[in-house]
Structure 1
Amino acid sequence: MFDLSKEFESFYKNKVVLPNDKQNDLREKKNLNISRLKDGLNEYNEENKTDYKIINTIVQGSMAMHTVVQNDSNDYDIDVAIIFEKENLNDKGPLAVRNIVTNALKRKCENFKKEPEVKTNCVRIEYQDGYHVDFAIYRRYKKENESEYTYEHAGSEWTLRDPKAINNWFKDEIKDKGQCLRKVIRFSKMFCKSRDYWVNMPGGLIQTVLCDEKIQNSYERIDEIFYHTMVEVKNRLDNDINVYNPTDTSLSLLSTKDHEKKVENFKNKLNDKLKKLDVLFESDCDKSKAKNAWYEFFNHDYWKEDTSNEKVQKYSSCYRNTEEFIEDLVNINEQYYVTVSCNVEANGFRLQPIKKLLRSLPKGWLPHGFSIKFNVEDTNVPKPYNIWWKVRNVGEIAQKRDMIRGQIEKHVGNCKQEHSDFFGNHYVECYIIKDNVCVAIDHIDVPIE
């Protein structure tokens, strides 16, 4: 098979993985709407003389698994489990609880595409730019003589479902099969969303389960792993299109005819587009033919870029892509929060928060020559834990100087000091690592003039 593994890695980092600013936007929207819900619920309680309390929230879906991709065209799902104590709900039915949650959100959600909406399995908030937040409602309780909680989901009725089960399953699969599994899932999602007219394709969980079942991680190169995994997925669907919940194989993920149609479509599209890759195995295949074949598969302009262009070659050869991604180093389960402060100072400027200083500057950019101090101000992660940092320089100057950085520094401590050296929209991220899992992330943008 013709080797385009370097191009695949570049495609993955630059065109597939959701940029950090977008990831942070999702994280902020999630935190903001959880706060809105809690504030609205407090107001509801005061007005109705009740005492409903959310005792935990758990991020679910592709955001929790870190398999969101750029090809989502801003139609990003933010899935959050909202958990109550069963006794706190006073035997209320699932619809009644969803109505209470919706009432609480309406009190705090303004200027949205539409009001928070009660769905069969969740309460949904839709943003005008395409984002939507789904709050799935759960209640928990302990059975007699049992130490572990039992969880029930508020669907058409209360049904047994552990909100952490899929997250824990995926974490174990990544540990067992390696980070190539996450990459393959993301590539699969890019394929399924590669044409606007492919409107009826399977969702992320179904693709995740299929890729996990058939991951071909005995190959060394990521392009080979992905290609052979897709071949095996297609062959598997030729024999049986049913896909089962990985945490309870008695439950099918294809609960409707529409779900079955989506999986059939996936199979048919794979069958058609995999044929375009046959050229990769021909003896006279060259780089141009190979890139064109992957363009036919992914329908992404990355594979049509003219890397023979002198300017492109000069620009791309100026720097090494040294950026690391936290999900490639440890599992992620953002069940806690961390808040990082960013203060700046220089001759003539006293130490002050960066946001305050930027508001006072005409262009809203930080000048050169400033000392920038990052500090972990607050976190609810129980000790002990480690703090890791990432500094990423963005822009043409950073690339020309071969200083994009982006490596993740481990065991640094709760403070980090930098300087405003050259122009660009730079950023810093802080990761809290507990038991070799990233449990909290914060992101700070540093725009330098």
Structure 2
Amino acid sequence: MLQLKWKNNIGFKFKGLLIDSLVKNFIDADDSRKSVTFSDYGTLVTDLFEYLSKKDPERSYWYALGSNQQITNDDNGKFVKKAKKAFNKVNALESEEALRDAYRELFGSKFAQETAKAQYVAPYEEFAENKFNVDIRYNLKLDCTVTQAGFRPKLLTEFLAKHRPLKANKQLEFKVVKTDIPDLLIPSVIWYWKVRNTGYEAKNRNNERGQIVVGGMRKKEHTDFNGEHYVECYAVIDDTLIAKARIDVPINTTTGGD
């Protein structure tokens, strides 16, 4: 199911029964959605994200499909905010390349390859959906402390909020800052990290990254190459990915912030 791929790939908790109920309501609201051709697929995806984005995140519960049991809103309708972001990403996309990139980010590399031409991947790049069973049950949030001699430490989210990239020669310490994984399960979690650097400099120097490696709840890195990079963290128990998070790491030595 599309929305299951979305929540597992982006990495946030979204109850399966609620997914089924909302998608069924969306389909039933317009008979034309029951017989969609492949050429209409992009429009359907966009419309579904728009539909989800307009739900009330403060609602106490929703009614389940068929049984009418109450599905409680345990996390302030987190899916609504995620749907708004997804809608903004895919709305009005026209080129096949842009759509492929958006699908890859939203639904994972396998989905993008199935629905469009194969996209470029870095040498040795790995993808969580190929390495683990994916069943996102919990939420995870990352941040990063940015330090450099002569400057006070700042959080990466401060730079991102101001749309300011980082300059080179900064030390980075990524860390899990929030999760609702039960304390009882934390000792059983194996933490993995993926650092993906992109852009001409990394590629030209044959230093692209993208492997998934074992680590802890913190990971130290540093800024090297200009580009729109990102870091992902995965919480895995018994070879099942139960939570994941991603944070963007834009680096620009010309316009980056101190």
CA shift, 1:359, in A, is 5.0
Q: Report the TM-score when normalising by structure 1.
A: 0.34
- Partner SS state of residue 398, structure 1: helix
Flag the structure with higher helix content.
1
List alignment gaps of at least 5 residues for structure 2. 1-5, 21-39, 53-60, 92-108, 253-258
Please give the per-residue CA displacement for 1:384-425, whole angstroms capped at 9, x wherever unaligned.
111000000011111011111100002x11110111111000
* Counterpart for residue 26 of structure 2: none
CA shift, 1:321, in A, is 1.7
Contact 1:429 1:443 in 2 (8 A): yes
Structure 2: distance between partners of 1:429 and 1:416: 11
List alignment gaps of at least 5 residues for structure 1. 1-22, 35-56, 62-70, 81-87, 114-125, 132-181, 191-299, 304-315
Please state if 1:414 is matched with 2:217: yes
Alignment-mate amino acid for residue 347 of structure 1: A
CA shift, 1:435, in A, is 1.2
Please give the per-residue CA displacement for 1:229-287, whole angstroms capped at 9, x wherever unaligned.
xxxxxxxxxxxxxxxxxxxxxxxxxxxxxxxxxxxxxxxxxxxxxxxxxxxxxxxxxxx
1:30-429 equivalences in 2 (<5 Å): 57-58=15-16, 73=42, 75=45, 127=87, 189-190=115-116, 321-358=123-160, 364-381=164-181, 382-383=185-186, 384-410=188-214, 412-429=215-232
Structure 1: distance between partners of 2:113 and 2:161: 40
Structure 1: distance between partners of 2:193 and 2:141: 13
Alignment-mate amino acid for residue 350 of structure 1: R
1:396–1:437 Cα change, 3 Å: same
Structure 1: distance between partners of 2:240 and 2:69: 36
Structure 2: distance between partners of 1:421 and 1:324: 21
CA shift, 1:378, in A, is 2.4
Contact 1:389 1:429 in 2 (8 A): yes
Contact 1:386 1:432 in 2 (8 A): yes
1:435–1:367 Cα change, 3 Å: same
* Counterpart for residue 101 of structure 2: none
Structure 2: distance between partners of 1:438 and 1:321: 23
* Counterpart for residue 446 of structure 1: 249
**What percent of counterpart residues are identical?**
28
1:424–1:331 Cα change, 3 Å: same
Structure 2: distance between partners of 1:336 and 1:346: 34
Structure 1: distance between partners of 2:132 and 2:210: 16
Alignment-mate amino acid for residue 223 of structure 2: S
Please give the per-residue CA displacement for 1:320-369, whole angstroms capped at 9, x wherever unaligned.
62210011111100011122221101123211211214556xx7110111
CA shift, 1:189, in A, is 4.2
Contact 2:139 2:243 in 1 (8 A): yes
Please give the per-residue CA displacement for 1:47-84, whole angstroms capped at 9, x wherever unaligned.
xxxxxxxxxx23868xxxxxxxxx9647266799xxxx
* Counterpart for residue 95 of structure 2: none
Larger RCO: 1 or 2 (CA < 8 Å, sep 6+)? 2
Structure 2: distance between partners of 1:320 and 1:97: 45
- Partner SS state of residue 216, structure 2: coil
CA shift, 1:27, in A, is 3.2
Contact 2:170 2:222 in 1 (8 A): yes
1:95–1:336 Cα change, 3 Å: closer
1:446–1:127 Cα change, 3 Å: closer
Structure 2: distance between partners of 1:405 and 1:321: 8
Structure 1: distance between partners of 2:193 and 2:209: 12
Structure 2: distance between partners of 1:385 and 1:435: 8
1:340–1:189 Cα change, 3 Å: same
* Counterpart for residue 27 of structure 1: 10
Structure 2: distance between partners of 1:334 and 1:413: 19
Q: What is the aligned length? A: 186
Q: Report the TM-score when normalising by structure 2.
A: 0.57
Alignment-mate amino acid for residue 408 of structure 1: I
Alignment-mate amino acid for residue 152 of structure 2: R
1:358–1:347 Cα change, 3 Å: farther
1:129–1:429 Cα change, 3 Å: closer
Contact 2:122 2:210 in 1 (8 A): no
- Partner SS state of residue 129, structure 2: helix
